Structure formats: structure tokens, C-alpha cells
Copies of this chain bind each other. A is one copy, B any other.
Amino acid sequence: MKTCAPGSVIGMLGGGQLGRMLALAAAQLGYHTHVYCPDEKNPAEQVTDRLSRNSYTDEAALVEFGKSVDVVTYEFENIPVETVELLQKHVPVFPSAKVLKVSQDRLREKDFLNGIGIETAPYAPVATVDEAAIALRDIGYPAVLKTRRFGYDGKGQAIVRQPTDLLDAWASLKSSEIIIEGFIPFDMEISVLAARGQDGEIRCFDPAENIHKNHILDLSIAPARIAPELRAEAIEIARRIVAELDYVGVLAVEFFVSGAAPVFRVNEIAPRVHNSGHWSIEACPTSQFEQHIRAICGLPLGDTTLYGRTEMKNLIGDDILDMESYLKDPAANFHHYGKKQAHPGRKMGHVTWVYPDAASWDD
């Protein structure tokens, strides 16, 4: 176990809003952050102590960065595995390259989950359109073609509703590393943020219910509006995942919940803090961001009890123009990520409401 006391320097790969909120949480605990990010004007650099603006493949810059920090983490999962493997030779990195390999690849991820008895959609890896046609006979229609790597917010996906959709869908993905997944009709999507410390302690946040708009998260509400015993079941699955991965840090597990006697199927896991846990900043004693910092630094994990039901709304693109109404709402906790341009689909901020008097939505 490698403990980094407050005052140490946390290296962070990536500079988006997740990195920004991690840096703010780290600062409260007295950590310095050093962001490594190739992007100009990234949201995290505005609040960090140091910045290295270099490519993830610049080995000399990575080694120098690794030597300048006490521990490294990352705020998105599309960091090259080789980057993390190189850094691990110089400094502890959490989550590990092993975990990153699994979560970067939809095929490995599903193999891992099914290997430990956790249900997912049916799936098959395919390398050619002919293989896809054969696999679809088993999986059936509708199905979803997904690139194995680098997909997010609905990107890298194409639905195949009938055999004649296949050629166009295949061509749209521009990749030969494809996985076909059976289409799961679901009643609800939920997510669980699970944290595991270096000492193996696990603490989970209450499951959140997630509502999407245009394939992007629009609302998260916690606790998810399912029976308490089902919430406990989802948490138990998330605990198994982080334990089996020997994970350190916060990890998000997305589930589809289907049927009257609900079945949970894991849609995907993300080895990082997650948009569907932003409400934890105000709704819990310890936020997902502070919890991640605590975990990677070897501190005791914090309390994740929900103060009351909570709702988080993403501000996407021009939604940010409504900021004045949120700033006027005394119950709204307004967050702005410091981005200048509000492109369509761009996550510009979020708002959280907490209702401490209501423990759940049933009250």
C-alpha cells in the first residue's frame, strides 16, 4: 500500500470536466494536481497547480511527468494502455493498466463480466460483414453493432433492425474490430459508483437512475426508483466487479433493468468517476471525486450516505444559456465547467438539487 498524504502531488491524465472536479476535490484535501493533457484550453488546467501539454505517446514527456508526481490517475478511459504501462514503471498508477485494458475493449469487458457470472446482453465479436451476418442469426434482431474501442455517448454504434440494415451499419462504423450485441429492451438504466481503496475496502454510492436525451445523459436521480432490495442487488454486483478487478479508485457500472421481476444486465463499466454520480458533490458527505482521490492516495474511504433524494441535470450545449434561472433557484447547485464554446452535445455544466427531507422518491 502506497499512501500519499495531503500535500503530495497527484498526476492526472486528461483535462476534461471530470478532471476539473477531481482537481477541486483534491485541492480541498490539500493535494496539488499536475494535469497531463494534449488539449489546448482544457477545463482542468484552470484549477490545477501544474500542466504538461503533451501527447500521450511522448515517452520523454511522460517519464518526466511520472517523476514529478507521487501518484497518477486518469479521468477518461481512452488513454492508451501503453501510456499507463510506461508510467507504472516510475510511479503508482490507479486504476491499473490491467483494468484499463478490460474496460477499453467491449469484448474483453463482456468476457470478464460473463466470466464472473454477471449477466450482459448476448454478444459476439466479428471482424467482417460476413461474420456479422452469421452472428446475427444467433443474436437476432434488433441488434447493435459497436466498435470494440473508443465509443462514448452513442458514438461508434449502429442499430441493425433487419438483415438489410447490416451493410450500411457496418460501413458507418469504419472499423473491423466490432462487437455485435443483442438489443436489450429495458425499463430503466441505472448506475452504481463503486469505490475500492488500496486496502480492499469497498464503498458504493446509492444507485442512480439515468435518463438520456439524444444518447447523452440528461438526468440522474438518486436513489433510483426501484425497490430497496433491487438497489442492494445492483450494489452487490458493483462490489463484485471492483473486487474481482482488484480495482483502486471509483468505477461506474451501468445496468439495464428489465422486466416485472427485474433482471439486471451490465451495459458497461467505466474505470473512472462518472457523469451519473455528480449529485454526490452535494448529496453525500463524500463526493465521488473526493472518494476517488481518497482511494488512489491510500486514505480511508469516506461516507457515501445520501442526505436525501437528489436530482442532477446536465447542461448540454445551449442549455447553459439558462444559467440565470438556475442561479436564481435557491435550491439549485449550479456547476459550470469553464468552457467557452457551447457546441451542440457539449457538456457545459450541471445542476444538482438535494431534498434532505425525503429519503427516497416514495416518501
Which A residues are closer than 8 A to B by beta carbons? 5-7, 20, 23-24, 27-32, 45-49, 285, 294, 299-300, 302-303, 307, 323-324, 327-328, 330-331, 333-338, 340, 349, 356
CB-contact partner of A27 in B300, B338, B356, under 8 A: B338
Known: A6-B323, A302-B330, A328-B300. A47 touches B30 (CB 8 A): no
Number of copies: 2
CB atoms of B331 and A29 under 8 A apart: no
CB atoms of A46 and B27 under 8 A apart: yes
> How many angstroms between the C-alpha atoms of A336 and B10 in the bound complex?
15
Tell me which residues across on chain B come within 8 A of A5, comparing CB atoms.
Answer: 323
> How many angstroms between the C-alpha atoms of A134 and B327 in the bound complex?
56
CB atoms of A330 and B303 under 8 A apart: yes
CB atoms of B303 and A331 under 8 A apart: yes
18 further A-B pairs in the complex, CB-CB below 8 A; given A6-B323, A285-B333: A7-B336, A7-B338, A7-B340, A20-B27, A29-B335, A30-B336, A31-B336, A31-B338, A32-B46, A32-B338, A46-B49, A47-B49, A294-B327, A300-B327, A302-B327, A302-B330, A303-B330, A356-B356
A-B contact pairs, 30 of them (CB 8 A): A5-B323, A6-B323, A6-B336, A7-B336, A7-B338, A23-B47, A24-B47, A27-B46, A27-B47, A27-B338, A28-B336, A29-B334, A30-B335, A30-B336, A30-B337, A30-B338, A31-B336, A31-B338, A32-B46, A32-B338, A45-B49, A46-B48, A46-B49, A47-B47, A47-B49, A285-B333, A299-B327, A300-B327, A302-B330, A307-B356
Which chain B residue has the least Cβ–Cβ distance from A336? Answer: B30
Which chain B residue has the least Cβ–Cβ distance from A356? Answer: B356
> How many angstroms between the C-alpha atoms of A336 and B299 in the bound complex?
14
> Lowest 5 A-B CB distances belong to which pairs?
A30-B336, A303-B330, A6-B336, A46-B49, A27-B47
Which chain B residue has the least Cβ–Cβ distance from A333? Answer: B285
Tell me which residues across on chain B come within 8 A of A340, comparing CB atoms.
Answer: 7
CB-contact partner of A29 in B23, B27, B47, B336, under 8 A: B336
Looking at the assembled complex, report how far the CB atom of A314 sits from the nearest CB atom of chain B, in whole angstroms: 15
Looking at the assembled complex, report how far the CB atom of A291 sits from the nearest CB atom of chain B, in whole angstroms: 12
> How many angstroms between the C-alpha atoms of A294 and B324 in the bound complex?
12
CB atoms of A349 and B30 under 8 A apart: yes
> How many angstroms between the C-alpha atoms of A356 and B307 in the bound complex?
9
Looking at the assembled complex, report how far the CB atom of A24 sits from the nearest CB atom of chain B, in whole angstroms: 6
Looking at the assembled complex, report how far the CB atom of A351 sits from the nearest CB atom of chain B, in whole angstroms: 11
Looking at the assembled complex, report how far the CB atom of A128 sits from the nearest CB atom of chain B, in whole angstroms: 47
